[in-house]
Amino acid sequence: MHIREILHRKGHEVKTVRPDTILEHCAAHMRLERVGALVVCDAEERLKGVIAEGHILQALVDHGPRALHETAADVMDDRPVTCAPGDTIGVVAQRMTRARVRHVPVCEDGKLVGLVSIGDIVRDRFEEMELERGTLRDLAGAHLAAV
């Protein structure tokens, strides 16, 4: 299974912010949209980084309440792990595990086309396993009926 299949199911919409967005607004945007990360893009919609809940939490631990006035650019991962629509779910899951990230921007021809989370990958893998289980059960039933 490939990342494009996840995007086909969930859509290509990505919640984004600009690099100069303050963390207070980033946190409010995450809560409102019910997402764990935002993609940081410049005015030309080019990927600049990813800001996740953990980045905001770490800034608060390090700097206290004044961290809420820092910007996305101050705390984002400015070299995020990315993937392409044609990448397999297994390959992307390995990248996420190695980099210890839960959200990966999907880029094609240098353009942001989506965002996948570890939840998306687990959900699709679970559905795939359920399908395999059903197929094996049907095959076993057919084999037993033939005997």
Q: 90 Cβ partners below 8 Å, 6+ apart?
A: none
Low-confidence ranges of the chain (pLDDT < 50): none
Helix H, strand E, coil C: the string for the chain is CEHHHHHHHHCCCCCEECCCCEHHHHHHHHHHHCCCEEEEECCCCCEEEEEEHHHHHHHHHHHHHHHHHCEHHHHCECCCCCECCCCEHHHHHHHHHHHCCCEEEEEECCEEEEEEEHHHHHHHHHHHHHHHHHHHHHHHHHHHHHC
Sign of CA dihedral 115, 120, 122, 126: negative
- The pLDDT of residue 1 is 85
Region label for 70, one of left (φ > 0), alpha (ψ between -120 and 50) or beta (otherwise): beta
- The pLDDT of residue 110 is 86
- The pLDDT of residue 144 is 63
- The pLDDT of residue 129 is 65
CATH fold group of domain 3-146: CBS-domain (3.10.580)
Per the prediction, the chain carries an average pLDDT of 91
Q: Where are the domains of the chain?
A: 3-146
Which tens digit of pLDDT belongs to each residue from 95-113? 999 999 999 999 999 899 9
